[in-house]
Each structure stands twice: as structure tokens, then as C-alpha cells.
A and B are shown apart, each in its own frame.
Chain A
Amino acid sequence: MEKFKNLKSIPAHLPLMNIDTDMIIPKQFLKTIKRTGLGKSLFYEMRYNEEGKIIKNFILNNEPYSKSKILLTGKNFGCGSSREHAPWALLDFGIKCVISPSYADIFYSNCFNNGILPITIAANIIQELSEYSKRKKEIEINLKEQEILYGNKKIKFDLDPAKKKRLIDGLDEISMSLEKVSSINKYEEKIKIVKPWITRND
């Protein structure tokens, strides 16, 4: 996984609550067997009309937002389906940081497995940040300091230290867990005796 580096970008603002993963990437794009190539289909039904033509007034279809690395959104972002295609599509489009008042649980953990930083922050701050989107001014994300910088302001955000470390170091979770293989072995030895029916031999 790529290490998360500090970001500077004009944010794109999608002021909707409960954006579900069906909206982020509709089902017809789930037929892929790859992780890449989904960026062009991100928010498909909002970006393209029924004939597949670009909808001009959708924010991500316009410069400079078509190059935004930061997405500002309403609360409960990423609800619904567990599809990891949602963060894959965001990442493939170029979005590396989402800022929202809240997230759905599965989407939130999927972000960290793909090097995307989901920042949780109060709605009034997002309102302030949206002004920078309107004015086409860059904002800055400093993960190490856990800060959003805009204008002459600096706002701190909370983040689980373990999740932060994973993003900064670009750590592969599977390698981390495989280092604990002796604990896994020990656990399996125990359940073989205590709960023998868990081990299937049928």
C-alpha cells in the first residue's frame, strides 16, 4: 500500500447526506475482477446521463474539481453495501482524503486498507471548508500533525493512532498479522480441544 503523504488540493464539495456505496460506484461496475480502472465510473449516475454523456453541472466533471484530491461530504458517507469498489473508485479518480461529519463503519475501515484518509470533523467546519471549494482555493492536510490547514486557520482532527500509523507507513495488514502466526496456532490448538466442532472435517 502506498504511504499517505501530505496533501494540498482544492476540495470538491458534495453536500449530500447518506451517500451510499451504490451511489459512489453502481453495481454494473462490480463485474470487474480488478481493483483499478473504476475512477471514470465514480458517482456514475450523477456524472453521466442515461445516454452516457457527461452531466455538465456535476462538480467532479468540472475543472478544477475534476482534479480534486479531497472530497467534502455530508454525514453517514459510504453507507450501504460493503463493496471495496467504492474506495477503489475514489482512489482511481484521485481522491485520497474524504472529509465528513460521519461515516458508515465498513466503508471507514475499507479506506484504511487502501491508503485513503477519512477525516471526521464537525459539519460547521465542513461548511467553512466548502467556501474554499467555492473560491477554488487549496486546503492542506497534514496527517502527521492531524491538521487541516486553510487560510490562516489550523484545525485538528482525531484519528486512531494505529490507523494513522498504517497510513503513514503504508503498512500491509496481512504481513502484520502473519507475524502473530504463533498466537494463531496456539488459538487453533485450544479450540480443537474446547470446540472441536468448529474444525470441519466433513
Chain B
Amino acid sequence: MSRTLYDKIWDDHLVDLQQDGTTLLYVDRHLIHEVTSPQAFEGLRMHKRKVRRPELTLAVPDHNIPTTDRSKGISDKESKLQVDTLRNNCKEFGIQLFDVNDKRQGIVHIIGPEQGFTQPGTVIVCGDSHTATHGAFGSLAFGIGTSEVEHVLATQTLIQKKSKNFRINVNGKLPEGVTSKDVILKIIGTIGTAGGTGYVIEFAGEVIRGLSVEQRMTICNMTIEAGARAGLMAPDEKTFDYFKGRPMSPKGDEWIKALAQWKTLYSDDGCEFDKEINIEGKDIEPLVTWGTSPQDISPITGRVPDPEKESDEDRKSAMYRSLEYMGLKPNMKISDIKIDAIFIGSCTNGRIEDLRLAAKLLKGKKVAKDVTAMVVPGSGLVKKQAEDEGLHTIFTEAGFQWREPGCSMCLAMNDDKLTSKERCASTSNRNFEGRQGRGGRTHLVSPGMAIAAAIKGHLADVREIH
């Protein structure tokens, strides 16, 4: 019987299956960070439980740490307590930790692949919704709550029911200036923020195959913004090359065996999907969001939509609320929207390729007057690589701040946040009300579009930057 990629990984991880479909699913890789794990360890202690397989969990602080110099420790008391708690828990339960000043520290979804901890065909979970990122390597990766983190620590399994299969084919080729960020924004705009609820999405098609591994990660990363817990892509030669020689990748004979298994990870010809749609690459333009939901997209050449033209009453009132929060008027040109801040970073767009692309466009230019701009590399190794290539000089000479790695202004748990009514072109993943700071206004964009906005001081077309 022909099976989808999701079916194959699922079947391969069944520990126990009950009649009603309730499944005990094995977890191969578990990532934890300081914000969603303390209560899980507390639960273990309360019930006198052990961590079943400590070597299958990897810990890193990322959400709640400063991105300024932290060689002398963390000054924020609560933040310090959370990071200290993670350190103590890892020590007590024997879990490997990349601590704040470890050069491998970084955003959990960047360091997993970087180290080869992430691998094709595995089930990967983390108490973070952007765990979907790892699906770009052909792993079934999804976000879980803290109770489930505790469950994985204690049992190395999760109780799950299978989702439905959804395939999105992105066909043809992408026009110039269009990146994988625009592809995923287009997908979310097309199916809506709940369009993937109850499904695991497999991304396929010529456009996906043509993307680099890092660009693919941007797409899977934001699958959750379309409502699906997990997004998947079949691994290919690019994927296998990516993992060759990574510190935690299989080696020697095991590499040969692993590769043979990884090559079986694709949806069989003729397998059926519960839902399938096609998107044409040529129809995608450089996009921005105008509202407070990731589905609120517009081409950079477009105008802010008019809620009066919306027939659905709930949607209409949501649009009015968004426009009021965002301080925008219907029908104004998107490229007339002035910007106060630029954020380049996050698990969506904080990798070396993102920084290279941004630096290339920025070289020799300056950040517009009155615009605050910040680059936060996704990991210590990304930061080092960028510095070895001299990218940091391009950023700092143009007026960008060059920060230490972490989640930073993507969720603004640390000091990196917008003030009320401040407007940001951001390469992150959520434009929710207050996401980047109370009253802050977020426009989601690709790294190239963030550079265009930085130079012009307003939302601008990356195709006009040379």
C-alpha cells in the first residue's frame, strides 16, 4: 500500500496502538529551553520520576536571555532564575546543555540541525510551536505543552492521535526577489491561520526542491502559523549533504545505514492526501503583512485592504480591530508605511544564508535616519561564521546593531522590544498584538525586504534595491 511521508514516519514510531487510534509514539529527539521546561522538571521531582533517556534530550537557553554582552552574567533577576533553573535541572537529570556562553548556544530550532541532533525520519518535539522547523529535513517535528515535555522526559513517548495528510505543491519557479519567506506567507494567506488545523502538511513541488535546506526551514517553521502542528519535506541529496560531518550526525557504518533509511523517506507515488492544493511560484510577489494575523498579507506593490469590502462579518470586525491597532487606513499604499525599527533574526530567518542575503543587499548603504535596526544571529556558530565572512562589518557600518544570539525581539521576552506604536519590519513569524512589545506594530517580511525597509525608512520593494 502506498504511504505518505507522514504515514511512514508515524508507522515507524508506534510503540502502542489502541482501538480508538490513541497511539503511544516514540520520540527520538527532544529539545528543551528555559521557558517551557521548569514546571516539567518540577513535576518529575514531585512524583519522584527519572528522565528515561537523558541523552535524547538537548537543552539550550534562548527565549529569555539578553542579546547584549552576557559574559558577566544576566542582570534581569527573573531571567537569571529561569536560566539557572535550566542549568540545575540539566545537571540533576543528566541532560546535555549548551549554556549561555557556550559558542554553540542559540535558538533551539537553529542549533538542533546545526549540530546534527535533528535527523531525517525522526520524531522531534520541543515545548515550542516553531518545532515544525525541523520538518524541513524530513522529520516529524511538532510543538508540545509543558505537561507533554514532562511526559517525554519520563517516558520518551507521547500520547497522540494521527493527524490528516495535506500536501501543498509549490510549482514552477520563483520570480526574482521572492524568497521562501514569501512562499510561506503566501501559503498562510491562501489557506488561512486555521487552514492546516488537524493536518500535517507536506510541502512539495519544483520550488521546494529548488530551495536550499536553510530556505526550506523558513517554510516549515511557519507551518504552525497556518494551523498545522507539523510541516514536512522529503529529504534529498541537499539534506544528506547538509548532515554529513555534523557533530551529532551518524558516522562510519552508521552513516551508511542511516543514509539508506533516509532515502526511503518520501511519499509513494499514488498515495492519497486528505487535502491537496497547488500554488504557482510565478504568482508569488515579495509580501508583507499589514494586520495582526500572519494571514493578513499584501504584495509590497499593493494597498491596505478595505474591511468594507469583506462580506464575512467576523472577519470584517477583526480587520477593523487590526487596522486600528496597526494605525493604518484602508486603501493606503503599503509602500507608504513608515518604519521605526528593523529586526533581522529568529528561528524563521536567523541563519547564515539569511544574513548573507541581507548583507549583500545592504553593502555600502546606510540605515535610514530615525530607524533603529538590529541583527540577532540565530546561534553562536552563525554569529561566528558571519564574522569570519565580515558580514558584521557591513551591518554595523550601515547602522545596524550586531547582537548576541537568541530569540530576542521575535517574542520580546528580554529587553529587545518595541514601545507602544513603534512600527517594525521584522523577519520573525508572528505579528500578533503586543507580540514584539505592548502596542508595538509588526510587519512580517523576508530578510531582503527588511533591508529594503531599513534603507528607505518605509516598507519598500526589495526588487528596487541594487
Contact = CB atoms under 8 A, between A and B. Distances in A.
Interface of A: 16-18, 20, 22-23, 26-28, 30-35, 45, 50, 74-76, 79-84, 87, 102-106, 109-110, 113-114, 160-162, 173-174, 176-178, 180-181, 183-184, 187-188, 191, 195-202
Nearest to B411: A27
Nearest to A191: B26
Contacts of A110: 145, 147-148
A194 to B, nearest CB: 8
A33 B433 contact: no
21 contacts: A17-B315, A20-B432, A31-B79, A31-B81, A33-B38, A34-B42, A74-B314, A76-B197, A81-B128, A82-B127, A82-B143, A84-B145, A103-B197, A106-B144, A110-B145, A160-B20, A160-B161, A191-B26, A196-B257, A197-B119, A202-B247
B151 interface: yes
Given A28-B413, A113-B147, A202-B247, A33 B197 contact: no
Interface in B1-34: 15-16, 18, 20, 22, 24, 26, 28
B250 A27 contact: no
Contacts of A104: 194, 197, 227
B129 A106 contact: yes
Contacts of A201: 55
Nearest to A114: B147
A102 B194 contact: yes
B275 interface: no
A121 B127 CA distance: 28
A165 B20 CA distance: 13
Interface stretch (B298-306, B434-442, B443-451): B434-442
Contacts of B194: 18, 75-76, 79, 102, 104
Given A162-B22, A174-B47, 16 more contacts: A22-B411, A23-B432, A23-B433, A23-B434, A33-B81, A105-B227, A105-B228, A160-B161, A174-B49, A180-B16, A183-B15, A184-B155, A184-B157, A188-B26, A197-B258, A198-B119
B25 to A, nearest CB: 10
B323 to A, nearest CB: 15
A188 B27 CA distance: 11
Contact of B430 (A22, A30, A187): A22
A18 B39 CA distance: 27
A183 B193 contact: no
Contact of B438 (A20, A50, A178): A50
Nearest to B122: A198
B101 interface: no
Interface string B306-320: 000000001100100
A18 B82 contact: no
A102 B227 CA distance: 11
Interface string B178-214: 0000000000000001100110000000000000000
Contacts of B147: 84, 110, 113-114, 173
Contacts of A80: 129, 224-225, 430, 432
Given A27-B413, A31-B64, A81-B129, A109 B438 contact: no
B159 A177 contact: yes
B24 A180 contact: yes
Nearest to B261: A195
A32 B77 CA distance: 11
Nearest to A34: B39
Contacts of A199: 55
B314 A17 contact: yes
Interface string B205-248: 00000000000000000001101110000000000000000011
A94 B394 CA distance: 53
Contacts of A184: 15, 24, 26, 52, 155-157
Interface in B46-64: 47, 49, 52, 55-56, 63-64
Given A22-B432, A184-B157, A174 B151 contact: yes
A188 B261 CA distance: 17
A80 B428 CA distance: 13
Contacts of B81: 31, 33
B117 to A, nearest CB: 8
Interface in B408-424: 411-413, 420
B176 interface: no
A167 to B, nearest CB: 14
Contacts of A31: 35, 64, 78-79, 81-82, 413
B269 interface: no
Contacts of A183: 15-16, 24
A200 B95 CA distance: 12
A50 B438 CA distance: 8
A16 B317 CA distance: 9
A105 B229 contact: yes
Contacts of B85: 33
A81 B144 CA distance: 10
Nearest to B146: A84
A83 B35 CA distance: 9
Given A18-B318, A33-B42, A197 B257 contact: yes
A123 to B, nearest CB: 8
A60 to B, nearest CB: 17
Nearest to B15: A187
A42 to B, nearest CB: 14
A111 to B, nearest CB: 9
A168 B16 CA distance: 23
A160 B18 CA distance: 13
B432 A202 contact: no
Contacts of B154: 174, 177-178
B438 A26 contact: yes
A182 B435 CA distance: 44
Contact of A30 (B20, B28, B64, B224): B64
Contacts of A84: 36, 39, 127, 145-147
